[in-house]
Structure 1
């Protein structure tokens, strides 16, 4: 089976293993979103595992108010999925393909190894309102701090979306803020 083409060139730029910086190396003429937040939890290692599981299992998206098909398996390279907003036939679908995913590395005692990132990145397919890529990262720093990071580059996929520029940017900002609220809840073990 042939995979559908992505709507932008040079996929995989969001794959940035620890400690590769998220700054720099992005394509020109795309809107760039780089956000990070230190997530304060009583046990950062446990919070990292919870957050990584929530990222890879789509709980971050669902917790942000996005619809993800209930039958969509855990994020893995090559998986095509669709998220969206709305209800029933009034739902805006945003199809993507997972380009990379990284599971947590666990030591012999069942704890995550400090100095790592887990998460995934996906690229847009035809029908998505944007053209570009987004990466979601749970990070456990070498000194044991937990971070949630998002890196995305995008541009409007069609003229209608381009005309709605300010509204489109506000919508992206709203969803990104919701990602961070959901990430805090996931790291704390809240649903």
Structure 2
């Protein structure tokens, strides 16, 4: 499926670019965190469903107000952080394949950051299930700019925590 064409609603130009491994536009910060979730088809199925239905995010304590019960292109999602920071986003792509499932959303006006983030579960040839979170972002609001490197540190910690929570939700093995 081709990426969504940019609209005036998105706060960045490269809409859908997280489909390309390692892509990061100039002047953005890249994030790539890969976490082993477990082994086997059942773990993959449970992990995929938890990612596609917002369950992983909700289990992290993040507020999710989504226009649909499942991630799909053009679904608007507002993420609420710390009970007060509203971060409006829109799903830009999804994937549901026998060994790969996930989605990405892009930032809309009012989001404290500018960019895109993807959440993809994949099952490798040896049966290992992984969660990969990839993003490119830069600060958009004054408080995100003021946070500087600490804001990026929080993004990395959040991505690592997603893996821990998804492992628990899917019944994956503890390392």
Which TM bucket (shorter chain)?
0.7 to 0.9
Q: Equivalent residue for 1:19?
A: none
Q: 2: distance between equivalents of 1:152 and 1:70?
A: 20
| Alignment deviations for residues 7-49 of structure 1 (CA, whole Å, 9 cap, x no partner) | 0001101125xxxxx3x332122111111122234xx211111
- Work out the number of aligned pairs and report it: 166
CA distance change for structure 1 residues 182 and 10 in 2, over 3 Å: closer, same or farther?
A: same
Greater fraction strand? 2
Q: Aligned-pair RMSD on alpha carbons?
A: 1.9
Select which of 50, 53, 58 maps to 1:57. 53
Query: Which of 69, 73, 80 in structure 2 is aligned with 1:84?
Result: 80
Q: Deviations over 1:152-190 (max 9, x none)?
A: 11000133321221331232123222211111112217x
1:144 equivalent in alignment to 2:144: no
Do structure 1's residue 168 and structure 2's residue 151 form an aligned pair? yes
Look up the SS of the partner of 1:69 in the other structure: strand
Partner of 2:89: 96
The gaps in structure 2 that reach 5 residues or longer are 1-6
Take 1:53 and 1:167, find their aligned partners in 2: how far apart are those partners?
A: 31
**C-alpha separation between the residues in 2 aligned to 1:54 and 1:4?**
31
Match of 2:4 in 1: none
What SS does the corresponding residue of 1:96 show, helix, strand or coil? strand
1:39 is paired with a residue whose SS is strand
1:38 — aligned with what? 36
Q: Do structure 1's residue 15 and structure 2's residue 16 form an aligned pair?
A: no
| Partner residue of 2:109 out of 112, 126, 145 | 126
TM-score (norm 1): 0.79
